[in-house]
Structure 1
Amino acid sequence: MYLLPAIDILGGKAVRLAKGDYNQVTVYNDDPVAQARVFEQVGAQWVHVVDLDGARSGVPENIAIVERIVHETSLSVEIGGGIRSLETLKRLADAGAARMVLGTALVNDPELAHAAIAAVGGDRLTAGIDAKGGEVAVSGWIEGSGVAAADLARAMGSAGFKHIVYTDIARDGMQ
């Protein structure tokens, strides 16, 4: 296990939601790229970026910011939020993302998870498992899925994912 600093992007700003609640937002930096530079300056080599707008809408909305982080820092970028098609996955890979996180798609479109492994390889993918009370939450943490987080983790490991990021939503943003 290793830790990656994280930047959650909402409305173009680096934020933190309290327990995944879009109505409880703390802004940490008006410029996510500047926040990435802070992490880089203190020795980070990777950054985990979540496009919260994309997670909620189903389509990444902050790809330009991700591209700036890739091109304006030396950080390897792991990006998630709204990746629900191979086209989007390839677009992020072409933008320079080192790894892409599939979350909602793991539950709602398992065929995409397998196609993603074939398209970019399991080492460039991360299974994003966000859970409330052990149940995977989807669509920007808004909906329950009826799938146990532990079962999904086992299935994605067997499918070929090399990385998993797990979030206990009840603790997220609570330090």
Structure 2
Amino acid sequence: MRIIPAIDIIEGKCVRLSKGDYSTQKVYNENPLEVAKSFEAHGIRYLHLVDLDGAKSNHIVNYKILEELASKTSLQIDFGGGLKSDEDLKIAFESGAQQITGGSIAVKNRSTFLTWLEQYGPDKIILGADAMNEKIAVSGWQEGSDLELIPFIREYLQQGVTYVICTDISKDGMLQGSSTELYKKILEEAGGKNTGVEVVKNSREENRTLKLIASGGITTMDDIHTLNSLGCEGAILGKAIYENRIALRELETYILNA
């Protein structure tokens, strides 16, 4: 299972929120590059970079930070937050993103998201499926919806999506453990565990396997081992690292052993 630390950006600073509430913002470092380099120094290869200013503004904002991190580290970055137009997407990829995550766009402008999926392919476009009480939330989690989480994921798998990041908003930033039962349910009901099992066919009749990336609430190494045993393809960690609940050396050991 891939270990994917998160850096969330507000006004150029590395911050964390609780349950997506902007009023709870806490600044952990004013230099995102310094944070990214510390991840890289411990053998981490991936980064989840979130433009929280972009999520509120409905267009990409912090692409210069993306460009700096992509050019000055070897981290493979997936980028999300405020990607609403073809121009936003172009800027993200030109700034060094290896993948992008589309959440609100997949709800509010399905045709654009599907066009991106067709144009760039499922290895580049991640579906962001963030939920509260198994209902999809959008716009930086400031808006709810009536969309049920698992049917939402299942429908996009049938359209060719492979990678899905799912955050249980109620867990995010709370350091109370991951939503393992939810991820187990998703893997069982939306697609087989990440072991090569045929789960759906998209419009091109190609077999797809759900690559589920768990996010939110991860607090201990035990959480990571549990998510791995469930069959999650990746795990996104944020506050657990910044609050020293999980040491980078522990992640380095995990990666080396894997």
- Output the TM-score relative to the length of structure 2: 0.66
The answer to whether the 8 Å contact 1:123/1:163 transfers is: yes
Question: Where in structure 1 are there 5+ consecutive unaligned residues?
Answer: none
Distance 1:48 1:162 in 2: 17
Matches within 5 A, 1:36-115: 36-115=36-115
> Deviations 1:66-90 (Å, cap 9, x if unpaired)?
0000001010110000111122112
RMSD value, Cα: 1.0
The answer to whether the 8 Å contact 1:79/1:99 transfers is: yes
Matched, 1:167 2:159: no
* Percent of aligned pairs with the same amino acid: 39
Question: Where in structure 2 are there 5+ consecutive unaligned residues?
Answer: 176-258
> Deviations 1:34-91 (Å, cap 9, x if unpaired)?
1111111111101001101111111111000000000010101100001111221122
Letter in 2 for 1:68: E
Distance 1:51 1:141 in 2: 13
Matched pairs, number: 175
Worse overlay, 58-67 or 158-167:
158-167
> Deviations 1:109-145 (Å, cap 9, x if unpaired)?
0001110012211110110111111111111100012
Distance 1:82 1:94 in 2: 16
**SS of the counterpart of 2:170?**
coil
Matched, 1:29 2:3: no
Letter in 2 for 1:169: I
Shift of 1:93: 1.1
Letter in 1 for 2:129: I
- Output the TM-score relative to the length of structure 1: 0.96
Q: Tell me which structure has the larger Cα radius of gyration.
A: 2
Distance 2:57 2:50 in 1: 13
